[in-house]
Structure 1
Amino acid sequence: QQKQYQPGEQQQEQQQQQQHQHRESAEDDRNERRRQMFRRVNKLDVSVEDSGKFESGVDVSEEPDIILSGSDDDDINTVYFVQPVRYNGHAVYKSQSNSFLYYVRYAENEGGRWQIGQPNGGVKNDQPIAFVNADADYPYEVATWQAWLVYDKAERDWVRQSKINTYRGDCVVNIEGALHDDVNGEWGILPLSYASRPVFEKLDRNQQRMM
Structure 2
Amino acid sequence: MTGYAAFERALLHEFEDVDLTETAQHKINSIVMGDESAETHVRHFKYYARHSAFNDAALLVFFKKSLKPAIRTKVQGMNPRPTTLQGWYKEVIAFDRQYREDESERKNARGANNQPSTQRNSNNRSGQQQQPQQPPRNTNQWTPRTNNGQFRPWGSVAQPAQQQPYRGPAPMDVDAMTRDPRCFKCGKTDGHFASNCPT
Same topology, TM > 0.5: no
Higher helix share: 2
Larger radius of gyration: 2
The TM-score normalised by the length of structure 2 is 0.24
The TM-score normalised by the length of structure 1 is 0.23
Q: Which has the higher contact order (CA 8 A, sep 6+)?
A: 1
